[in-house]
């Protein structure tokens, strides 16, 4: 998320963000950190950080940063619907080429629950990414990306609390509150942005 916002601010369309936009982006980042820190572990589970885990984290983060920067570039420079479809198709084919050997090696095709979850996430992304890229030229990546990332996370936490009785600790609650305030700030900033 941050890579796409910074890429637009610093390189693609260099400009100084308004204080409200900057506060909104920073607020979303802070909320995601708090929500991530709130993750609890059950009996026998640990949060031990291993070198292999760190390597995978950095590799995944690099791919995510590249993805959001590429989405921002394509949406802002090539907003034609045909270009968006071409970009999304190429992105998913590339992801498939990268992930398929990992899935086969881990025996992922035998894990029904993971397969269903992965297919569902893929369907959501096939729909959400083109929509996100289509509205980005109008609202800007500093509004679209933080809202698109934070909103589902907050909704999942709240749905889990309301419908499944999951407990939210103080960090998760604070993260949700900050995310809602940050999204409101970004929405207001977008509404007052010169068109």
Per the CB < 8 A criterion, the answer to whether 38 and 168 are in contact is: yes
Instruction: Judge whether residue 107 has pLDDT over 80.
Output: no
* Domain presence at residue 22: yes
* Domain presence at residue 44: no
| CA atoms lying within 13 Å on the CB side of residue 29 | 11
Q: How confident is the model at residue 127 (pLDDT cuts 50, 70, 90)?
A: confident
User: Pick the residue with more confidence: 179 or 124?
Assistant: 179
Domain count, the chain: 1
Q: How confident is the model at residue 177 (pLDDT cuts 50, 70, 90)?
A: very high
Give the pLDDT of residue 40.
56
Instruction: Judge whether residue 51 has pLDDT over 60.
Output: yes
Give the pLDDT of residue 156.
86
Q: What is the pTM of this model?
A: 0.77
Candidates 148, 159, 153; CA nearest to 186 is: 148
Give, for 181, the enclosing helix (H) or strand (E): helix 170-191
* Domain presence at residue 87: yes
**Host domain of residue 8:** 2-38+49-191
* Domain presence at residue 43: no
Calpha distance 145→65 (Å, rounded): 12
Per the CB < 8 A criterion, the answer to whether 36 and 173 are in contact is: no
Per-residue burial over 134-170, b if 16 or more Cβ lie within 10 Å, else e, is eebeebbbbbbbbbbbbeebbeebeeeeeeeeeebee
Candidates 147, 166, 169; CA nearest to 21 is: 147
């Amino acid at each position: 998320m941050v890579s796409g916002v910074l890429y637009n601010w610093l390189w693609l369309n260099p400009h100084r963000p308004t204080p409200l936009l900057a506060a909104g982006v920073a607020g979303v980042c802070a909320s995601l950190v708090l929500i991530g820190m709130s993750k609890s572990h059950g009996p026998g589970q640990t949060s031990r950080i291993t070198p292999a885990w760190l390597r995978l984290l950095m590799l995944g983060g690099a791919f995510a940063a590249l993805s959001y920067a590429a989405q921002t570039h394509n949406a802002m420079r090539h907003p034609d619907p045909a270009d968006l479809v071409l970009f999304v198709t190429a992105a998913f084919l590339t992801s498939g080429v990268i992930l398929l050997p990992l899935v086969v090696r881990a025996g992922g095709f035998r894990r029904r629950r993971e397969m269903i979850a992965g297919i569902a996430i893929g369907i959501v992304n096939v729909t959400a990414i083109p929509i996100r890229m289509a509205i980005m030229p109008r609202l800007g990546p500093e509004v679209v990306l933080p809202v698109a990332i934070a909103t589902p996370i907050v909704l999942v936490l709240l749905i889990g609390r309301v419908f499944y009785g999951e407990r939210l600790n103080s960090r998760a609650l604070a993260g949700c509150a900050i995310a809602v305030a940050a999204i409101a700030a970004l929405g207001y900033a977008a509404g007052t942005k010169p068109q």
